[in-house]
Structures are given as structure tokens and as C-alpha cells.
Amino acid sequence: MNEVKPKSRDTETSPPQTTNERRGFLSSAAAITAAALGGLLGVGPLAIGLYATVMDPLRKKTTPQKAAGSAGATGAKEGYYFVAQIGELDSHVPRRFTIVADKIDAWNFMKDQPIGAVYMRMQGEQIECFHTTCPHAGCAVSYELESQAYLCPCHNSSFKVDGSKLEFSGSSNPSPRGLDALEVDVQGTNVFVKYEDYFTGRHDQVAK
Ligand code: FES
């Protein structure tokens, strides 16, 4: 009589070896895919940020202009730009001068580019200098001879010739402060200005 051996419990419940291998392979592939995606998501933005920082052409740098033919103009202090010869300044009426500088970024060198403007006039022995940007919201003011005041065309801010706010009865002046005064340095007959841009919409004059 043939003996019938009972099947072991392990033999009944364990899946076949090939199924286990397939599951192991699939879970490994999923782990590798997840790791790759994680790497891309984590490192990608970092790499893009680094690239943008290094290659961004907007990281423009300006260098002080050297006035052609004027030996003294080469002595500009850090942050100062040549504006004019002192003989060009009027003792009463402010004159508008464009600030010109060489611009350099990662890829380009652009010589003599306008980077801003100022109004200047003589006041006794002193030179008065104001930024042309309206402190309200950044439009350009212009000096009006007739009213002897700086006027902004955007929202009607106006300023006295000394840069302080001008208040008319019956109208409001939206500018939070007077015109931004700039430091001036004179070397020989050359006039330099410490040209900076300032935040608009604030009561205090804070450089950007
Ligand atoms: S920007 Fe000059 S008044 Fe508004």
C-alpha cells in the first residue's frame, strides 16, 4: 500500500519562487524611479538657481564714467559719477544732467549708457543736487521755469526749487517726502555725484 505523505505547511503557503523574484524586481524599480524623481525635484531647482545666478545678464554692473579729455575726472570716488564741469552750473536755475556710465554684465560691455539723471544748481559755494525720480511712485519730475518748481506729471506732486514739498491750498501732494538730495564731490572743475536710486512711497530716503 502506498504511503501518502502530508504536504508541509510551508509548501502550501509560500508563493512560488518566480513570483517573489518578480515582486522584488518591481519594488526595486519603483524605488529607483522614486529616487530619480526625488533627485530631479530636489536638485533641479537648485541647479537652475545656480545657473541663473551665474549667467543672469541682469546682474549688471556699472563703472564710473571718465570724462573725455578731463584728467581730473579720473579721480572719481567709489560710487560717484562724473556729471558736469562746474562752469556749466547756473546759480539760480537747476539744470538737468544725464548720468552716463559703462555697463558690464556677464556677456556685454556697453560704453557710455544713460543710467539716470539729476538736477543741479549752485547755491553760493555749495552745489545742490536732486534725483529726478519722483518719490511718490517713480515718474520723472521736470523743473518748470514759470512756476519755479519741480512738477511730476503722473499724480501732480510738486516740489520747491530747494527740493521740499510744495503744498497748494485746495490740492493734495501725494509725494511722501521731498526730492531726494544726492551727495556731490568736486575735484578741480569736475563735478561728481554719488548717484543711487531710492525706494519710492516711503517717508524716509532709503537707498535700494
Ligand atoms: S509718481 Fe510723481 S506724483 Fe505720483
Phi-psi region of 44 (alpha: psi -120 to 50; beta: other; left: phi over 0): alpha
In the reported structure, the alpha carbon of residue 157 is separated from the centroid of ligand 1 by a whole-number distance in angstroms of 6
Contact 121, 94 (CB under 8 A): yes
Q: Which of 131, 133, 139 to mutate to test the pocket of ligand 1 (most atoms within 8 A of CB)?
A: 139
- Residues forming a β-bridge with 144: 149
Q: Domain locations in the chain?
A: 9-55, 61-194
User: Which 3 state secondary structure label does DSSP give 2?
Assistant: coil
User: Residue 168: what pLDDT?
Assistant: 76
Torsion of CA 144, 150, 154, 155, to 10 degrees: -120
Place of cell 548720468: 99
pLDDT tens, position by position, 22-62: 555 555 555 555 555 555 555 555 555 555 554 554 455 55
Residue 84, strand partner residues: 191
The C-alpha atoms of residue 80 and residue 65 are separated, in whole angstroms, by 9
Tell me, using a 6 A CB cutoff, whether residue 155 lines ligand 1.
Answer: yes
Give the C-alpha distances (Å, rounded to integers) separating 175 from 37, 144, 154, 157, 200.
52, 18, 11, 6, 9
Bridge partners of residue 127, in order along the sequence: 122
Residue whose CA is at the smallest distance from ligand 1 atom 4 = 155
**Among protein residues, the one whose CA lies closest to atom 3 of ligand 1:** 155
DSSP readout, 145-202?
Answer: TTTTEEE-TTT--EEETTS-B---TTS----SS-PPB--EEEETTEEEEE---B-SS-
80-120 tens-digit pLDDT:
999 999 999 999 999 999 999 888 877 888 888 899 999 99
Q: Is the pLDDT of residue 167 over 70?
A: yes
137 CB under 6 A from ligand 1?
Answer: yes
pLDDT digits (tens, 9 = 90+) for 176-201: 999 999 999 999 999 999 999 999 99
> Quick one: which atom of ligand 1 is closest to the CA of 152?
2
Residue 157 beta carbon below 6 angstroms from any ligand 1 atom: yes
For residue 38, what are the contacts with CB-CB under 8 A and spacing of at least 6?
A: none
Reported pTM: 0.67
CATH fold group of domain 61-194: Rieske Iron-sulfur Protein (2.102.10)
